Amino acid sequence: MDAAELILNERGALYHIGAKPGELAPTIITVGDPERISILKKYLDVVHFEIKHREFVTVTGEFAGQALSIVSTGIGTDNIDIVFSEIDALFNIHLETKTAKDEVTPLQFIRLGTSGGLHPDIAVGDVVLSGYAVGLDSLLHYYANNSTIRIESLEAQVNQITQLTSYAVPGSSSLLHHFSSLGQKGITITCPGFYAPQGRNLRLQAAIPQFLDQLSDVQHEGLSVTNFEMETSGIYGMAALMGHKAISINGVLANRQRGEFAPNPKKVVESMIEKAMGRISDLLNY
């Protein structure tokens, strides 16, 4: 690969996230909102690195006696493409020669994010684990060999409703098992936008109205579509293709079918984080 494919800044760090090898831990929490970094940073016993560039904020320190990184990705799978590609490069590419290493260093990604619920029985404030993610974006279609990780039967159900070309990918079975006590497991729909891509109408009208309500009937391997958000399909797809593990843990801020929104979204996020950090402590010391 040449300089235009893997871009470094003046200090030899990755162009977007601004980090160098040795500045990230192999277990990484991802959040969309950079402001959420301040909540999570309080859990670290020691902070070794803090790097800020655009919406990408990276903090690496120690938690429960082990190394842990927290990275804000910003919104959307386009940002996931950037963040996951550059984090993987830190561990699995020689930056000086821009050649891939002979052995892959496996990483663990834990998304602590927010989402909307799609079933009446999912209450605002609940936690949902993404057993599978279905991307209505196009990210994974740009990568070779994506068919090796996709679930065509699940895609077919979604495509019939939306008339789009989706991709469906599983989360890490071991991470899903480890975090299973936090909430129910379901299928997450990843949307490439917040308004029409989620069926909202402002001045512009959605071309596929109420499709999210119809997707709530989709099922696979005993799981139904439970929630929707904007990053998980990219996280699961990129991690699986690269040989990493990933889980998406979703705090439910709204219930679409009941028309409800959390009166205190920050409280929902903080509660989810507190529950998740207990299990992350056990994971790091397993």
The confidence band for 75, taking pLDDT boundaries of 50, 70 and 90, is very high
- Nearest-CA neighbor of 227 among 148, 151, 119? 119
* pLDDT for position 89: 97
* pLDDT for position 232: 98
* pLDDT for position 219: 96
Fold of domain 27-284: Rossmann fold (3.40.50)
Give the pLDDT mean for 63-77. 97
How much is the pTM? 0.96
Mean pLDDT of the chain: 95
Give the pLDDT mean for 256-277. 91
Q: What is the pLDDT of residues 136-195, one digit of tens each?
A: 999 999 999 999 999 999 999 999 999 999 999 999 999 999 999 999 999 999 999 999
* pLDDT for position 2: 76
Domain boundaries, the chain: 27-284
Q: Where are the beta strands (DSSP E) in the chain?
A: 27-31, 46-53, 56-63, 66-72, 93-94, 99-100, 108-117, 127-135, 167-170, 184-190, 219-220, 223-229, 245-255, 260-261
Q: How far apart are CA 264 and CA 237, in angstroms?
A: 32
Give the pLDDT mean for 207-233. 94
Give the pLDDT mean for 245-268. 91
